[in-house]
Amino acid sequence: MNLEVVILAAGQGTRMKSRLPKVLHAVGGKPLLEHVINTAQALLPKALHVVAGHGSEQVQEALSGYDINWVLQSERLGTGHAVMQALPSVADDSVVLVLYGDVPLTRLTTLENLVEQAQNGPALLTATLQNPTGYGRILRDADGAMTGVVEEKDATDEQRLLQEINTGLLAAPARDFRDYLPRVDNKNQQGEYYLPDIIHLAVEDGKRVASCTALSELEILGVNDRVQLNQVEREYQRRQAEALMRQGVSIADAMRLDIRGSLTCGEEVFIDINAVFEGDVKLGNGVSVGANCVLCDVTVADGTVIHPMSHLQEATLGKDCSVGPFARLRPGTVLADGARIGNFVETKKANIGSGSKVNHLSYIGDCDMGAAVNVGAGTITCNYDGVNKHKTDIGDGVFVGSNSTLVAPLCIEEQGFVAAGSTVTTKVGKDELAVSRSRQRNIKGWNRPDKRVSKD
């Protein structure tokens, strides 16, 4: 069997009240449409077709990394009309699965079952809802066989009482789409060509239409406004958290976790509340992530602790490191095993050696730092001269006293010592002490200034 997938993504989404095409609004850090594409790709289709309309150039640019046959629906005349635009690119011997670019949570197993049911005729995904308002209703005969779908606006009062609804997700052999879609008319309240109308045409031809049932309403929820977008986001995050916990990750509160990319965890990982993971994040065994941390494209080795309120981006952390609280690791930061970055410390393009410590209120940028270095509070590497960036090299075992200013380009060789309060502009040799500060004067008989009394 050859499978081809057609994703309908031409809607404007006026209820989103946004200039951004609806299918580009994000869930879990990825556009709605990208979620649907990823699920479709997992089915290993022969071809993937996306029917775009409103903002098509913007949509294509955002998803340019995928192998997609883009189809333009210049006039949006309904779902049946949208599928018709893609049919010329579909092989005659294929089974075609129709998905929607704003329905991102449909499970792979559900779609596999739907495709399996569509080998010899149409198969429709349905759901039973306590409140079916807004959905088309499934019509069945006395034997339970499906006879058609009626849209709510076209339904009778009796039909509106039905609770089994049409999700819109449908699969059928390509030949059925070619036979039935040209016969679909637009004699309805919307004046549109409805894709589900092929169901009653197939029944009229004596075919039995198969159906599958969705596991939950959230699985088939389409996003039409920001309230539904939030519903989908929370369900997506719940699924991510549940999967992690089943793998052995401890999460303080699954409702306060956001994964906006991919998160891979080893054993005995702990994640506290309000942690956000963006891009590609990898956490080794025994890693602990404190409350209100943000990790973006970060790799963390075994046993490292990230304390609360820390922000890490494009950084690599070795084993048994300690970061934070209130630390910021910017792109290019690499911590060797056992390194420590403390509170209110910022690093950028910094290689921090094994066992080295930058514990308080410091900025280390464009720096190669050796092992067992101690950097005192208030130290900064002056790496920018207003035009170019310059590098600071710090050897093994160096001690930098508090409130020191290291003006790059600069080299401090191993076992060098910088006295507190120094501004260092030239090389410090091995085992040398650098002192650069004015001589202290103590003035005897000095009188404190009096507070002036206002004459007003």
Q: pLDDT digits over 333-381, tens only?
A: 999 999 999 999 999 999 999 999 999 999 999 999 999 999 999 999 9
**Using CA atoms, how far apart are residues 404 and 424, in angstroms rounded to an integer?**
8
439: confidence class by pLDDT, cuts 50, 70, 90: confident
On whether both 198 and 334 belong to a single domain, the answer is: no
pTM: 0.88
On whether both 27 and 155 belong to a single domain, the answer is: yes
For 53, the token pair is 């309309």
Q: To the nearest whole number, what is the mean pLDDT of the chain? A: 94
What is residue 456's predicted lDDT score, i.e. its pLDDT? Answer: 62
Asked whether residue 174 is assigned to any structural domain, the reply reads yes
List the CATH number of the domain containing 395: 2.160.10.10
On whether both 346 and 271 belong to a single domain, the answer is: yes
Asked whether residue 60 is assigned to any structural domain, the reply reads yes
On whether both 158 and 300 belong to a single domain, the answer is: no
Section 296-325 average pLDDT: 98
For 162, the token pair is 């039905």
Angle between helices 108-116 and 32-42 (to 10 degrees): 50
- Nearest Cα residue to 102 out of 54, 164, 155, 45: 54
What is residue 12's predicted lDDT score, i.e. its pLDDT? Answer: 81
Reply yes or no on whether 54 is catalytic.
Answer: no
What is residue 100's predicted lDDT score, i.e. its pLDDT? Answer: 96
| Proportion of the chain above pLDDT 90, given as a percent | 84
On whether both 187 and 249 belong to a single domain, the answer is: no
Measured in whole angstroms, how far is the alpha carbon of residue 419 from the centre of its chain?
Answer: 46
Q: Is the pLDDT of residue 88 over 80?
A: yes
Section 284-302 average pLDDT: 98
- Nearest Cα residue to 49 out of 66, 69, 63, 65: 69
- Nearest Cα residue to 373 out of 401, 345, 408, 334: 401
Q: Is the pLDDT of residue 453 over 80?
A: no
**Using CA atoms, how far apart are residues 315 and 317, in angstroms rounded to an integer?**
7
What is residue 454's predicted lDDT score, i.e. its pLDDT? Answer: 67
Asked whether residue 454 is assigned to any structural domain, the reply reads no
DSSP labels, 41-60: HHT--SEEEEEE-TTHHHHH
227: confidence class by pLDDT, cuts 50, 70, 90: very high
| Proportion of the chain above pLDDT 70, given as a percent | 99
Q: What DSSP designation does 452 have?
A: P
Element (H, E) at 35: helix 32-42
Asked whether residue 192 is assigned to any structural domain, the reply reads yes
Domain that holds residue 395: 226-434
Asked whether residue 144 is assigned to any structural domain, the reply reads yes
What is residue 245's predicted lDDT score, i.e. its pLDDT? Answer: 97
195 within 8 A of 189, measured Cβ to Cβ = no
Instruction: Please enumerate in sequence order all residues whose Cβ is within 8 A of that of 179, keeping only pairs 6 or more positions apart, or say none.
Output: none
Asked whether residue 439 is assigned to any structural domain, the reply reads no
Strands 137-140 and 146-150, sheet pairing: antiparallel
Strands 164-173 and 123-128, sheet pairing: antiparallel
**Using CA atoms, how far apart are residues 46 and 218, in angstroms rounded to an integer?**
28
**Using CA atoms, how far apart are residues 292 and 2, in angstroms rounded to an integer?**
47
293 within 8 A of 309, measured Cβ to Cβ = yes
Backbone angles phi, psi at 326, to 5 degrees: 55, 45
What is residue 455's predicted lDDT score, i.e. its pLDDT? Answer: 67
Interval 33-49: pLDDT, tens: 999 999 999 999 999 99
What is residue 54's predicted lDDT score, i.e. its pLDDT? Answer: 85
Total tally of structural domains belonging to the chain: 2
Q: Is the pLDDT of residue 329 over 90?
A: yes
Q: Of 158, 188, 220, which residue sits at a domain end?
A: 220
On the CB side of 329, how many CA atoms lie within 13 Å of its CA?
35
CA terminus-to-terminus distance, the chain: 95
Asked whether residue 419 is assigned to any structural domain, the reply reads yes
Section 56-77 average pLDDT: 94
Cβ neighbours, 10 Å, residue 163: 13
134: confidence class by pLDDT, cuts 50, 70, 90: confident
On whether both 152 and 92 belong to a single domain, the answer is: yes
What is residue 449's predicted lDDT score, i.e. its pLDDT? Answer: 82
Section 207-231 average pLDDT: 92
Helix, strand, or coil (residue 282): strand
- Give me the amino acid identity at 331: P
Q: Of 158, 190, 220, which residue sits at a domain end?
A: 220
On whether both 209 and 119 belong to a single domain, the answer is: yes
User: In this predicted model, which residue has the larger pLDDT, 54 or 428?
Assistant: 428
Section 431-445 average pLDDT: 92
On whether both 207 and 319 belong to a single domain, the answer is: no
Q: Which of 49, 200, 311, 360 is catalytic?
A: 360
76: confidence class by pLDDT, cuts 50, 70, 90: confident
On whether both 127 and 241 belong to a single domain, the answer is: no
On whether both 63 and 201 belong to a single domain, the answer is: yes
Asked whether residue 452 is assigned to any structural domain, the reply reads no
List the CATH number of the domain containing 23: 3.90.550.10
Q: Of 158, 186, 220, which residue sits at a domain end?
A: 220
On whether both 293 and 335 belong to a single domain, the answer is: yes
On whether both 350 and 385 belong to a single domain, the answer is: yes
Q: Is the pLDDT of residue 447 over 90?
A: no
Long-range interactions of 244-249: CB distance < 8 A, separation 24+:
244/271
